[in-house]
């Protein structure tokens, strides 16, 4: 049995795929932005001398990292309505879950980033009369962020792949779009194959760009 | 908000003569079986592909790179669907293969790409002189790999492989999507049937964490056993 791709038309793409693709991309971008923001705060908390900040942050990061993502998705889908008292759609639940989950992973990257900046940099900031917040914001974090940029982007590609796991709660993402199209046209084999090709093309070209960026940065440094 | 624990839910009958606890234990067994077999596959294939990426022959190295890129750039869930829905449709004899085995292949090949990257990095972290010294002693290239490079590299990569072996347990949860009766599928179905999601999810999460922790200890033990004498041991864990 061969593949028959004739069912695949622009109409089909418009009706089934574009919406899913937009959701996957928006979910990735929101979780990346939120994840890097909260992840940076978590990293600073973990590196803090104050145990009441460092311990809960470490606990949160380790808890998120030791549970399968699918279970985290299910947990949030179960708990958010329970806590706020009303149902929340699978899409919103996914956005909150991925932001919370990715914060833990981005925080590990940012922690390594902050530690990669020479200690003298923060000290120099203090010596110039900057407060802790100022020397972090103006001196340390920009360098940490720059050093870790390739790793942060690689994590974002992994994040994009992981968004397909919203399948567990039935959110309509790119994969779901392919699956629905495959069901409607009774062409599941072709639909899953195309899904794999599309994910591969997106992720392969993105990781290629990250590699090029890495090479360019290596020359500058 | 008034919530009461109801752990008795695990003693309830599922309707098939067994309790939810029995079901959960057998689901745990499936999770461990999928993870262990996939890990075995990933180690064998990953070591081979990772080694081939470092050989002088350009086209062999390129083929091995293609392997890594292929399995790294498609989401695991999509790969599982490929193995489950697409490959048996294209290769009819595979229709007889149970879903469990297909998931093992999917997870094993997915992880083999990550193992290959670690093994390649391990081999490339050795000083160039090692290989040259082997060749100068009259070893053939395969012998240099067999007796000089791999015994060092495979021990160096154990710490990164530890985290991969914990990842594989977490990643096995994706098997729920093709109805392999493992822990996550149990969690979904038991939650639906009993409406005691919190107790069910807590127990399942606990089993995942306990499994990953046990694997971590085991790998740390192996690491200590096979450590290269005289090489600085990283102080960790």
Q: pLDDT digit string (tens) for A183-196?
A: 998 889 999 999 99
The structural domains of chain A, ordered by start, are 10-220 (1.10.3720.10)
- How confident is residue B237, by pLDDT bands cut at 50, 70 and 90? very low
Name the residue in chain B with its Cα closest to that of A2. B90
Residue B231 lies in a domain: no
**What local confidence, expressed as pLDDT, does residue B104 receive?**
96
Residue in B24, B31, B81, B163 to test binding to A, most A beta-carbons within 10 Å: B81
The yes-or-no verdict on residue B236 having pLDDT over 50 is: no
The CATH number linked to B106 is 1.10.3720.10
Q: pLDDT digit string (tens) for A197-216?
A: 999 999 999 999 999 998 88
Q: What span, in angstroms and rounded, lies between the C-alpha atoms of A80 and A74? A: 10
Name the residue in chain A with its Cα closest to that of B79. A196
| Residue A71 to residue B204, Cβ atoms within 8 A | yes
Of A67, A167, A193, the CB nearest to B208: A67
The yes-or-no verdict on residue B166 having pLDDT over 70 is: yes
Query: Does A71 contact chain B (CB < 8 Å)?
Result: yes
Name the residue in chain B with its Cα closest to that of A157. B73
Residue B12 lies in a domain: no
| Residue B73 to residue A204, Cβ atoms within 8 A | yes
Average pLDDT of every residue of chain A: 92
| Residue B75 to residue A69, Cβ atoms within 8 A | no
**What local confidence, expressed as pLDDT, does residue B235 receive?**
45
Q: What span, in angstroms and rounded, lies between the C-alpha atoms of A37 and B122? A: 33
**Nearest CA-CA distance, residue B137 and chain A, Å:** 36
Report how far Cα A93 is from the mean position of its chain's Cα atoms: 15
What does the pLDDT average to over A64-77? 94
**What local confidence, expressed as pLDDT, does residue B231 receive?**
66
Name the residue in chain A with its Cα closest to that of B166. A66
| Residue B208 to residue A66, Cβ atoms within 8 A | yes
Query: Does A69 contact chain B (CB < 8 Å)?
Result: yes
- How confident is residue A221, by pLDDT bands cut at 50, 70 and 90? low
Query: Does A7 contact chain B (CB < 8 Å)?
Result: no
Show the 3-state SS of chain B: CCCCCCHHHHHCECCCCCEHHHHHHHHHHHHHHHHHHHHHHHHHHHHHHHHHCCCCCHHHHHHHHHHHHHHHCCCHHHHHHHHHHHHHHHCHHHHHCCHHHHHHHHHHHHHHHHHHHHHHHHHHHCCHHHHHHHHHCCCCHHHHHHHHHHHHHHHHCHHHHHHHHHHHHHHHHHHHHHCCCCHHHHHHHHHHHHCCHHHHHHHHHHHHHHHHHHHHHHHHHHHHHHCCCCCCCCCCC
The yes-or-no verdict on residue B146 having pLDDT over 60 is: yes
What does the pLDDT average to over B68-90? 95
What does the pLDDT average to over B122-135? 92
**What local confidence, expressed as pLDDT, does residue A4 receive?**
74
Q: What is the DSSP letter of A14?
A: I
Residue B99 lies in a domain: yes
| Residue A78 to residue B198, Cβ atoms within 8 A | yes
Name the residue in chain B with its Cα closest to that of A63. B209
Q: What span, in angstroms and rounded, lies between the C-alpha atoms of A116 and A130? A: 20
Q: Looking at beta carbons, which residues of chain B come within 8 Å of A66?
A: 166, 208-209, 212-213
Q: pLDDT digit string (tens) for A103-123?
A: 999 999 999 999 999 989 999
Q: Looking at beta carbons, which residues of chain B come within 8 Å of A69?
A: 170, 173
Number of domains in chain B: 1
Residue B6 lies in a domain: no
Residue B4 lies in a domain: no
Query: Does B103 contact chain A (CB < 8 Å)?
Result: no
| Residue B85 to residue A69, Cβ atoms within 8 A | no
Q: pLDDT digit string (tens) for B22-31?
A: 999 999 999 9
| Residue A200 to residue B191, Cβ atoms within 8 A | no
CB pairs under 8 A between A and B: 103
Query: Does A29 contact chain B (CB < 8 Å)?
Result: no
Residue B233 lies in a domain: no
Domain of residue B196, residue span: 18-226
Residue B79 lies in a domain: yes
């Amino acid at each position: 049995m061969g593949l028959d791709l004739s069912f695949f038309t622009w109409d089909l793409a418009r009706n089934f795929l574009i919406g899913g693709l937009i959701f996957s991309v928006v979910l990735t971008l929101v979780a990346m932005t939120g994840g890097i923001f909260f992840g940076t705060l978590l990293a600073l908390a973990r590196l803090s001398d104050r145990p009441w900040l460092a311990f809960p942050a470490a606990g949160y990061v380790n808890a998120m990292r030791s549970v399968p993502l699918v279970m985290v998705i299910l947990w949030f889908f179960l708990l958010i309505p329970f806590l706020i008292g009303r149902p929340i759609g699978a899409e919103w639940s996914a956005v909150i879950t991925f932001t919370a989950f990715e914060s833990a992973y981005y925080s590990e990257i940012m922690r390594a980033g902050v530690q990669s900046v020479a200690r003298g940099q923060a000290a120099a900031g203090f010596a110039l009369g900057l407060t802790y917040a100022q020397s972090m914001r103006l001196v340390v974090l920009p360098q940490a962020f720059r050093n870790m940029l390739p790793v942060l982007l690689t994590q974002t590609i992994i994040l994009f792949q992981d968004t397909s796991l919203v399948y567990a709660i039935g959110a309509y993402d790119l994969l779901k779009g392919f699956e629905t199209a495959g069901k409607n046209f009774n062409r599941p084999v072709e639909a899953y194959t195309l899904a794999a090709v599309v994910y591969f093309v997106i992720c392969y070209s993105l990781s290629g760009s990250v590699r090029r960026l890495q090479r360019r940065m290596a020359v500058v440094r | 908000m008034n919530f009461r624990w109801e752990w008795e839910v695990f003693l309830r009958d599922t309707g098939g003569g067994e309790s939810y606890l029995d079901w959960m234990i057998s689901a745990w067994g499936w999770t461990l079986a999928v993870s262990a077999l996939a890990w075995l596959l990933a180690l064998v294939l990953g070591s081979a592909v990772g080694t081939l990426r470092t050989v002088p022959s350009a086209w062999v190295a390129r083929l091995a790179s293609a392997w890594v890129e292929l399995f790294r750039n498609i989401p695991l869930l999509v790969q599982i669907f490929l193995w489950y829905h697409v490959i048996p449709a294209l290769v009819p004899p595979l229709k007889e293969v149970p879903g469990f085995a297909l998931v093992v292949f999917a997870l094993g090949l997915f992880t083999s790409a990550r193992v290959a990257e670690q093994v390649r990095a391990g081999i490339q972290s050795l000083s160039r002189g090692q290989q040259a010294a082997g060749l100068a002693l009259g070893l053939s290239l395969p012998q240099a790999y067999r007796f000089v490079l791999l015994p060092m590299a495979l021990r160096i990569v154990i710490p990164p492989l530890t985290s991969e072996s914990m990842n594989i347990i977490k990643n096995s949860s994706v098997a729920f999507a093709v109805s392999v009766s493992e822990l996550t599928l149990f969690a979904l179905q038991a939650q639906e049937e009993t409406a005691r999601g919190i107790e069910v999810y807590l127990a399942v999460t606990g089993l995942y964490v306990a499994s990953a922790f046990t694997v971590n200890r085991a790998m740390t033990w192996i690491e200590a056993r096979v450590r290269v004498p005289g090489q600085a041991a990283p102080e960790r864990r």
